[in-house]
Amino acid sequence: MSFGSRAHVAMQAYGPLCVGIDPHSHLLEQWGLEDSIDGLDRFAATCVEAFAGKVAFVKPQSAFFERFGAAGVAILERTLQDLRHTGTLTILDVKRGDIGSTAGAYADAYLDDDAPMAADAITVSPYLGFGSLTPFFAAAEKNDAGVFVLAFTSNPEAIRFQTATASSGMSVGDEVLVELGHANEGADPMGSFGAVIGATVAHLDTQRLGFNGPILVPGFGAQGGTVDDLRRLFGDVTDQIIPSTSRDVLAKGPDVATLRAAAAATNDSLSLL
């Protein structure tokens, strides 16, 4: 099954929620863990136990593993492998973007089904040109994986750039969505190539959300995004959105049952969409 099909099945089974696995130093401390490899190991293993087969998506943030060096990357590899075949899909947040053979190497590292760090989907940046993402799309198609492309992120530094007018007359973010529409053309029930659009974007002035792909929506919960924001921003395509939260759920740890209950409560709130 394509990633788009698997994502659709997971959302039907578990709801649309994505829970971030973000081992910030302050979260490790809050859980009573050391900011160390041992603390990271216990944090990641607890998240797998709490969320595998309970939510549709989890999104490990690669940077919080990489900061521990090779040992941290090894824990990220194990975390991704432990989540495989549990019904919960992994979206590895790496925001990679490069050209030519380098992009191809990144794609092989994260999207090849036999790679140690293989994920169901990854995040990528289009700002070396949308065509630079071709190796990621090719690897995703070959391995039934997914790609989420930054379009309208909610950090204040980015929005001026993403809403700037390109030579086509469209905004830069709109050009991303149009290109995703071409990439997803004909896919059913949903394409495998998605956009990243923040839940706290003040004004989403676009008519191009119907690109037939999933929409990863970070910033829901502790960062300020609400169910009302999701309705306001996404209107008729709320069935395609994957709201992502980290701190709202992770702050309830380290008890596994409490983490699961927090995720379930957040998922329930999304039924109001």
pLDDT reported for residue 214: 98
Token pair 């004004």 is found at 203
Instruction: Please determine, for residue 102, whether its predicted confidence score (pLDDT) is greater than 90.
Output: yes
Q: What confidence category does residue 104 fall into, taking pLDDT thresholds of 50, 70 and 90? A: very high
pLDDT reported for residue 16: 98
Mean pLDDT of the chain: 95
Q: What confidence category does residue 225 fall into, taking pLDDT thresholds of 50, 70 and 90? A: confident
Instruction: Please determine, for residue 205, whether its predicted confidence score (pLDDT) is greater than 80.
Output: no
Structure tokens at 154: 């909610």
141 and 134 in contact (C-beta within 8 Å)?
no
Average pLDDT on 94-108 reads: 97
- What's the pLDDT tens digit per position in 41-75? 999 999 999 999 999 999 999 999 999 999 999 99
Q: How many beta carbons lie within 10 A of that of residue 121, not counting itself?
A: 29
Q: What confidence category does residue 123 fall into, taking pLDDT thresholds of 50, 70 and 90? A: very high
Distance separating alpha carbons of residues 153 and 196, to the nearest angstrom = 7
Q: Where are the domains of the chain?
A: 3-272
Instruction: Please determine, for residue 118, whether its predicted confidence score (pLDDT) is greater than 80.
Output: yes
Average pLDDT on 29-42 reads: 98
pLDDT reported for residue 103: 98
- Whether 54 is catalytic is no
Distance separating alpha carbons of residues 129 and 175, to the nearest angstrom = 10
Q: What confidence category does residue 206 fall into, taking pLDDT thresholds of 50, 70 and 90? A: confident
Catalytic-labelled residue, pool 59, 95, 142, 252:
95
User: DSSP per residue over 185-248, as a string?
Assistant: TT-SS--SEEEEE-TT-S----S---SSS-EEETTBSTTSB-HHHHHHHHGGGGGGEEEEESHH
3-272 placed in CATH 3.20.20.70: yes
Average pLDDT on 11-22 reads: 97
Residues 6+ apart with CB under 8 A from 175: 130, 166, 168
